[in-house]
Amino acid sequence: MSTAAENLSALIGCRTVSSRDADGSDPAEFERFRTTFAGLYPRLHADLELTRFGGGLLFCWRGASSERPVVLMAHYDVVPVVPEDWDRDPFSGEIADGAVHGRGALDDKGHLVAVAEAVESLLADGFTPAHDVYLCFGDTEEISGETAEDIANHLAAQGVRPWLVNDEGGAVVQGAFPGVKVPTAMVGVSEKGIVDVVLETTAPGGHASTPARNGATARLARAIVRIDDHPFPARLSAPVVQMLEAIAPHTPPPLRQLLANADRFNRPVAQILAKVGVETAAVVRTTTTTTQLSGSPGANVIASRAWANVNIRIAVGETVASVVERIRSVVADGSVSISVREGMDPSPVSRTDNDACALLSDTITATYPDAAVVPYVQNGATDSRHFAVHTDAVYRFSPFMMSREQRDSIHTANEYLRIEDLERGVAFFRTLLRNHA
């Protein structure tokens, strides 16, 4: 049995659920994770310098030089589960059918274990890195990212400017783009911004037997439908153009010529991608979705207040301010108040013409020889966004092959990571650290 798989199984068993609701998270489970982790990786804890940031862990592995430091990131908190949706106990960490099953297998304990296994084994080999290496393991990624922000600011205050940062993100995927036959290793060079916008309406309440027209819920529903009927325009930002140019050689003509010249044919290419599927549509536009709705507290009570939360993922080139202004324009109803719950702009775009990106790309090729390395804009937010203000070399890549089924399981049910892919992830990080000369 794979040691990495057994260790991942044990760590999945720690129910490190992050929740904004104090009752939805158990601090004892987070402490159990840290204790279990220390027992599984004794060399890492004995030989590296550990600094605690609340529940976050920052390990420093001193290298021969303090120049060109590397930051390897992961997080060990997970999102809540709906147990009845799962085929297995989501916190059993069951090892079956050549995979480790459970919440966090992909997001993000598998990534964390791949890093830890690589470092533990290199320490056992007596290896000393050429440059300082920092391991940043967060505990709040799924709710706020405060821990990672504290760590990023701490390192900046110490004068540490990372030469390379790698966090969770893209993976090696097959069939994500039409006409592309080879696997693509998707490396996030930026990530979309995010904002939660609250729509709220009020009206006189009363008994449901005597309703008035155009009440609070009707006006709220109309606003939601308007937003859904008027999606943000599809367009290609600079990193998306770069992505398409990287894919172009692996597509058949005439698609090859079209993608290779995506910048010249920005609008038609964007419109085509918007129609291919939800993944490609999200690449080319700011997306909106209503995630929460609330109205009356009773089935026979007219709502005096109705509200909805619209979760918006902001494409590169837009801002929180510009997105909210468009939402106001689309809703076009002064009786519907629009307020920002929380939000952040898209992260800066990292360079792809530097030695750090070259090292990452070479390591991917060494681990997955058949894969084309492709830069892209990540749809979800990660802890790495807090490092993007300190360095232009922040990348988001999880070194695993992930099927569409696996990608769809993240934040839903039946999450699993194949043992073979976990082992290749360990090899990826060993190669990355050995080749960083």
Active-site annotation, residues:
77, 141
Neighbours of 380 (CB within 10 A): 16
Spatial distance between the Cα atoms of 384 and 54, rounded to a whole number of angstroms: 18
Question: What contacts 163, CB < 8 A, 6 or more positions away?
Answer: 67, 68, 69, 70, 131, 356, 391, 393
Spatial distance between the Cα atoms of 93 and 202, rounded to a whole number of angstroms: 47
DSSP alpha helix (H) spans, 376-418: 404-409
| DSSP secondary structure letter of residue 315 | P
Q: What DSSP string describes 351-398? A: PSSSHHHHHHHHHHHHH-TTPEEEEEEESS--GGGGTTTT-S-EEEEE
Q: Which residues on adjacent β-strands are paired with residue 58? A: 51, 136
Pick from 33, 23, 7: nearest CA to 139:
33
Question: What contacts 322, CB < 8 A, 6 or more positions away?
Answer: none
2 touches 419 (CB < 8 A): yes
Q: How remote is the C-alpha of 57 from its chain's centroid?
A: 19
* Integer angstrom CA distances of residue 359 from 24, 166, 385: 41, 11, 21
| Buried/exposed 103-126: b ≥16 CB within 10 Å, e otherwise | bbbbbbbbbbbbbbbbbbbbbeee
Residues, the chain, total? 437
CA atoms lying within 13 Å on the CB side of residue 31: 3
Both tokens assigned to 339: 């307020």
Both tokens assigned to 378: 């990540």
Both tokens assigned to 73: 């990131």
Both tokens assigned to 399: 């070194």
Both tokens assigned to 336: 């519907």
Spatial distance between the Cα atoms of 70 and 136, rounded to a whole number of angstroms: 10
CA dihedral 175, 181, 183, 187 (to 10 degrees): -70
Q: Tell me the three-class secondary structure of 381-394, residue by residue.
A: CCHHHHCCCCCCCE
Q: How remote is the C-alpha of 434 from its chain's centroid?
A: 26
